Structure 1
Amino acid sequence: MNETLTMLREAAGRTSKLVAEIGEDEFALPTPCADYNVRELINHLEWAATLFESLAQDGGFPPQKEYTGDFPERVERMLAVWARPESWEGVSQSMGLPKSVLANMALTDLVAHGWDLARATGRTFEVQEETAAALLAFARQMAPTGRERGAFGPEVPVRESAPVLDRALGVIGRDPAWKP
């Protein structure tokens, strides 16, 4: 639990900082996540933070609402719930997956979409090597289920000598060379 929680906190901090830097003039920019422009992707991140907060407490799927601009507050609430030991116990009633898997899904969402936003807006997004390695291992393990459930796209081939984060992104369907 502690390693993943530490990685969640770090990814949430980086993604929150990035979201706070993005101006309204950048909202219409395309992202590597083809279904979303920048504003829609931030909206998705807001919803995902609320979702993972709910799932950690054995709740269900919250409705997706319009962009509110409160991602940093939502992700802090999510982190507060994951800081409780009981949030890591058992299986999610709504998703049928172990809570530790849900925490790794939240981490993947924060990093992948943080990277998406950085690419779309010409900023950088870095994660620690241990976080990238954890994401790569999780992505490889969950790829078939992730693709089946529509969470991951088709794998993008990335050379084995590429940075670990690039390889993790490729597994979940991102092209590390994407440019707007």
Structure 2
Amino acid sequence: MSETERVARAAEPLSKLLRTLTPDQLTAPTPCAEFDVRALLNHLLFWGPSLIGAARKESVAPPATAESEVDLTAGDWPAALDTQLADLATAWRDPEAWQGTTHMGGPTELPAALVGGMVVGELIVHGWDLARALGTTADWDDDLLLYAFDETTATADQGRAMGIYGPEIPVAADAPLLDRILGLTGRDPAGR
């Protein structure tokens, strides 16, 4: 699998889900306790420009407004987020995006490949969150999930220390890769 296609492949199932979303589903709960569907979409829209900027080696600070203040009432939110996902995939298709160092919404320099891995994980985990909220599934290929599992394993302790991930949920070592990724991030794949 080419690293330049990883973000696009991670975004595709999420993009498909957006096309099925209806306004009455915005208040549906997600497996992430702090997000209903509206808050999850706000989160993705809020951080998307910083993740695109990271691929371009541009330090793009998050908007000055609070994450919860992204306006989803105009009716164009699915298209806006879908466009943002396409822009994100395009930015990370550039081989240079994966080289050297970059910033992710702040002054700290990070290895670009690490940030790319975080973006892939973010899209998979939040894609799963949205699928669960909508009562459906989202599927990623095993090569991408293996990559995301390795990346999540490498950064899980740091993610928990930063409050990005919850406490690890034990998952069997032979469970599907997606379930093991979810467990590392503090999500129960069984939805308990």
Residue in structure 1 matched with residue 37 of structure 2 by the alignment: 38
| TM-score, length basis structure 2 | 0.86
Q: 1:30 to 1:161 in 2, by over 3 A?
A: same
Return the match for 1:117 from 130, 138, 142: 130
How many residues are treated as equivalent by the alignment?
178
Instruction: Please say which of residues 64-73 and 36-45 is displaced more in the overlay.
Output: 64-73
Q: Partner letter of residue 124 of structure 2?
A: V
Counterpart for residue 61 of structure 2: 61
Tell me which of 132, 142, 166 is aligned to 2:179.
166
Partner Cα separation in structure 1 for residue 137 and residue 71 of structure 2: 23
In 2, Cα distance between the equivalents of 1:71 and 1:107?
A: 16
Unaligned runs of 5+ residues in structure 2 are none
Task: State the percentage of identical aligned residues.
Answer: 34
Code of the residue aligned with 2:118 in structure 1: it is: M
Higher mean Cα deviation, 36-45 or 60-69?
60-69
Residue segments in structure 1 that go unaligned for 5+ positions in a row: none
- In the other structure, the counterpart of 2:8 is 9
What is the rounded CA distance, in whole Å, between the counterparts of 2:109 and 2:164 in structure 1? 16
> Partner of 1:97: helix, strand, or coil?
strand
Runs of 4+ in 1 over 3 A off after TM superposition: none
| TM-score, with structure 1 as normaliser | 0.91
Q: Does residue 79 of the first structure (1) align with residue 89 of the second (2)?
A: yes
Match of 1:148 among 161, 168, 178: 161
Contact map agreement 2:47 2:62 (CA 8 A) in 1: no
| Deviation digits for residues 122-164 of structure 1 (CA, Å, limit 9, x no counterpart) | 0111111111111111111101111112221110011112111
Cα distance in 1 between the residues matched to 2:142 and 2:43: 26
